[in-house]
Amino acid sequence: MRLRVDLVPQEGLSYADVVLVVDVIRATTTASAFLEAGARELYLTALRESARSFKDHDVVLAGEEGGLRPAGFDYGNSPREALEAAVGGKTVVMSTTNGTKAAHLAARTAKHVLLASLYNAHAAARLAHDLASEEVAVLCAGKEGRIGLDDTYTAGVLAEFLQIMGGYDLEDGALTALATRRTYPDPTEPLHLSAAAQALRQVGLEEDVTFCAQIAASPAVPLLEGRVGEALIFRRGQRNGSQSQIPTL
Amino acid sequence: MRLRVDLVPQEGLSYADVVLVVDVIRATTTASAFLEAGARELYLTALRESARSFKDHDVVLAGEEGGLRPAGFDYGNSPREALEAAVGGKTVVMSTTNGTKAAHLAARTAKHVLLASLYNAHAAARLAHDLASEEVAVLCAGKEGRIGLDDTYTAGVLAEFLQIMGGYDLEDGALTALATRRTYPDPTEPLHLSAAAQALRQVGLEEDVTFCAQIAASPAVPLLEGRVGEALIFRRGQRNGSQSQIPTL
């Protein structure tokens, strides 16, 4: 089995099998937190206007604009807030910047797309390992086309869990992510050093970074199960389940 | 002063000041070796046909195609061969894959472009530090659009030298490169693990990897000094010199 890590999304990347999309500060952490809070499903849309178009349905809108809740949205992109949100049995429409774009890039070609973070790292690695037949890829969202230390570090944690589970051939990106993981034993350090954390600090949301630095605290792994229009539909992935390839709704 | 590391070339990247282009296995190592061997200047061209068009001039052609010397070329892309080459006072026209492309990308916007490797790491970092007024960027060539462990590691070595020389603000890419450097005290390990080394092994050129793993053995730093047609002209950079911004010939 191959383990591949792409540290920054690029047009033209294509995936053969399973992709773990990582935007640890904060989209993929928040996605797990909404599932933990009981959300039935998540719609990921790259466009805020597209998110607003769901507003006449019985959905909850969550997202960010410069780190903050956009006008007309019910929630921001805070995992602390998501965990306490009244979303039991509901559809949450999420629109974030980097994480959503990376998920859409992965969904173009991958057989299975999962949203991974430190928060659900163990469960996400486990599910990816179960679903994969030839390759597990980690696609880091980065920040506006640049590599993120936070996402690279998270990819290293996922790579470490995957290595424990089975024999993986590691390519250069995976070795780099593992090196980053090994350099920082305490996850709060690389997360707080990252550009993503600096941006949150400027809008007073530094506590979210501390939340995002928890490793393997949640078993909730968002798994791509279909599409509705431009939005990707994620539901909670089950181990040993009968998840099939992505249907188009 | 800012220190920035881009681990993979991407369309749209732009540079404000000094760029160290790294393709350690092998283009930027070989470029230094040709200068060590006495070459007067290097022309870097992305196209082999464009290299061949110089053939009626009194030049030496060097380059690679699948790791090997292309038909009609005088030399391959081997630094061991370059160091022994009869190029005293001559122009060497180099055409390689990833390194040449990265140099052209940097040259679009940067004020100063240098070719860096482990082989010339100390001299390259020193010259970059002298030339920079606001930012030193390291642009890793990678391999066919993917991150290279060898180039990431080299960026970490350059970052380490730069940090010793002055106060740099490090962004996420630089922190990742430094983490990779710290994980591998012995440079031969990450270089031999890289995809670039694996490709050379398949064509029997593994000894080149060992050559490329020497740290700071050469003071020869190729510095962009102009263009002729599509080719970039590099000459040996001098410290405390009067290098100006890139003229267009």
Q: A108: distance to nearest CA of chain B, Å?
A: 18
| CB spacing of A180 vs B179 below 8 angstroms | yes
Torsional class of B240: left (φ above 0), alpha (ψ -120 to 50), beta (otherwise): left
How confident is the model over A223-245, as a mean pLDDT? 82
Burial grade of B63 (CB within 10 A; 0-12, 13-18, 19 or more): buried
| pLDDT given for residue A54 in this prediction | 86
User: Is the residue at B244 inside a domain?
Assistant: no
Q: What percent of chain A has pLDDT over 70?
A: 96
Q: In chain A, where do the E strands start and end?
A: 2-6, 18-22, 41-44, 59-63, 91-95, 112-116, 135-140, 169-170, 222-228, 231-236
Rounded CA gap, B198 and B192, in Å? 7
Q: A90: distance to nearest CA of chain B, Å?
A: 37
| CB spacing of A8 vs B10 below 8 angstroms | yes
Q: What is the pLDDT of residues A22-55, one digit of tens each?
A: 999 999 999 999 999 999 999 999 888 888 888 7
For β-strands A222-228 and A231-236, DSSP reports them as antiparallel
How confident is the model over A82-96, as a mean pLDDT? 96
Which of A6, A146, A172 is facing B149, going by the closest CB pair? A172
Which of B146, B175, B183 is facing A172, going by the closest CB pair? B146
The CATH number that applies at residue B99 is: 3.90.1560.10
Q: Taking a C-beta distance cutoff of 8 angstroms, is the pair A6, A137 a contact? A: yes
Rounded CA gap, B219 and B239, in Å? 10
Q: A167: distance to nearest CA of chain B, Å?
A: 17
* Nearest residue in chain A measured CA to CA from B179: A180
User: Is the residue at B71 inside a domain?
Assistant: yes
Domain of B44?
2-236
Who's near A15: CB < 8 A, 6+ residues apart? Answer: A106, A109, A110, A111, A135, A137, A139
* Nearest residue in chain B measured CA to CA from A170: B193
Which of A7, A172, A179 is facing B179, going by the closest CB pair? A179
Judging contacts by C-beta atoms under 8 Å, the chain B residues touching residue A180 are: 175-176, 179-180
Q: Tokens standing for B154?
A: 């080299």
Give B61's strand partners: B93
Average pLDDT of the residues of chain A: 93
| pLDDT given for residue A85 in this prediction | 97
Residue A249 has pLDDT above 80, yes or no: no
Which of A7, A178, A182 is facing B7, going by the closest CB pair? A7
Q: A194: distance to nearest CA of chain B, Å?
A: 6
| pLDDT given for residue B56 in this prediction | 75
Which of B7, B150, B180 is facing A179, going by the closest CB pair? B180
User: Is the residue at A245 inside a domain?
Assistant: no
Residue A184 has pLDDT above 90, yes or no: yes
Phi/psi of residue B59, nearest 5 degrees: -125, 165
For residues A135 and B48, the model is more confident at A135
Q: B60: distance to nearest CA of chain A, Å?
A: 33
User: Is the residue at B242 inside a domain?
Assistant: no
Give the 3-state secondary structure of B175-191.
Answer: HHHHHHHHHCCCCHHHH
Rounded CA gap, A16 and A87, in Å? 34
Residue A219 has pLDDT above 60, yes or no: yes
* Nearest residue in chain B measured CA to CA from A175: B149
Give the 3-state secondary structure of A164-206.
Answer: HHCCCEECHHHHHHHHHHHHCCCCHHHHHHCHHHHHHHHCCCH
Interface A:B, Cβ pairs < 8 A: 79
| CB spacing of B172 vs A6 below 8 angstroms | no
Number of domains into which chain A is organized: 1
Mutate to test the interface with A, among B11, B144, B172 (most CBs of A within 10 A): B172
pTM for the whole structure: 0.91
For residues A79 and B166, the model is more confident at A79
Residue A243 has pLDDT above 50, yes or no: no
* Nearest residue in chain A measured CA to CA from B180: A179
pLDDT in tens, chain B (249 residues): 999 999 999 988 999 999 999 999 999 999 999 999 999 999 999 888 888 888 777 899 999 988 899 999 999 999 999 999 999 999 999 998 899 999 999 999 999 999 999 999 999 999 999 999 999 999 999 998 899 999 999 999 999 999 999 889 999 999 999 999 999 999 999 999 999 999 999 999 999 999 999 999 999 999 999 999 899 999 999 876 444 444 444
| pLDDT given for residue A247 in this prediction | 45
User: Is the residue at A49 inside a domain?
Assistant: yes
| pLDDT given for residue B240 in this prediction | 61
Q: Tokens standing for A79?
A: 């995992």
Judging contacts by C-beta atoms under 8 Å, the chain A residues touching residue B8 are: 7-8, 10
| CB spacing of B176 vs A150 below 8 angstroms | no
| CB spacing of B175 vs A148 below 8 angstroms | no
User: Is the residue at B249 inside a domain?
Assistant: no
* Nearest residue in chain A measured CA to CA from B181: A179
